[in-house]
Amino acid sequence: MVSRSSATRLGDLAKAVGAKLLGDPETIITGVGTLQAAKPGELSFLSNASYRRYLATTRASAVILHDRDAAGCPVAALVSDNPYLAYARTADKLFPRKTFPPGIDPSAAVDQTAIIDDSAWIGPCSVIGEGVRIESGVYLGPGCVVEENCSIGADSRLVANVTLCRDTDLGQRCLIHPGAVLGADGFGLANDEGRWIKVPQLGRVRVGDDVEIGANTTIDRGALEDTVLHDGVKLDNLIQIAHNVEIGRHTAMAGCSAVAGSTKIGEHCTIGGQTGLVGHLTIGDNVHFSAATLVTRSFTAAGYYSGNLPAMENAAWRRVVARLRKLESMARDMKFLKKTSKRPDEDR
**Residues labelled as active-site residues:** 243
Q: How far apart are the first and last CA of the chain?
A: 82
Extract the runs of DSSP E, i.e. beta strands, from 66-119: 76-79, 103-104, 109-110, 115-116
C-alpha to C-alpha distance for 149 and 205, rounded to whole angstroms: 12
Closest C-alpha to 104, from 130, 71, 85, 127 = 127
Q: Which residues are CB-neighbours of 173 under 8 A, at least 6 positions away?
A: 153, 154, 155, 156, 209, 210
Closest C-alpha to 258, from 244, 272, 276, 245 = 276
Residues 234, 252 contacting (CB under 8 angstroms): yes
Distance of alpha carbon 85 from the chain centroid: 16
Instruction: Check residue 99 and report its DSSP letter.
Output: P
> What secondary structure does DSSP assign to 173-222, as a single string?
T-EE-TT-EEEEPP--EEEETTEEEEPP----EEE-TT-EE-TT-EEEPP
C-alpha to C-alpha distance for 156 and 320, rounded to whole angstroms: 50
C-alpha to C-alpha distance for 65 and 56, rounded to whole angstroms: 13
SS3 content of the chain, % helix, strand, coil (to 5): 20, 30, 50
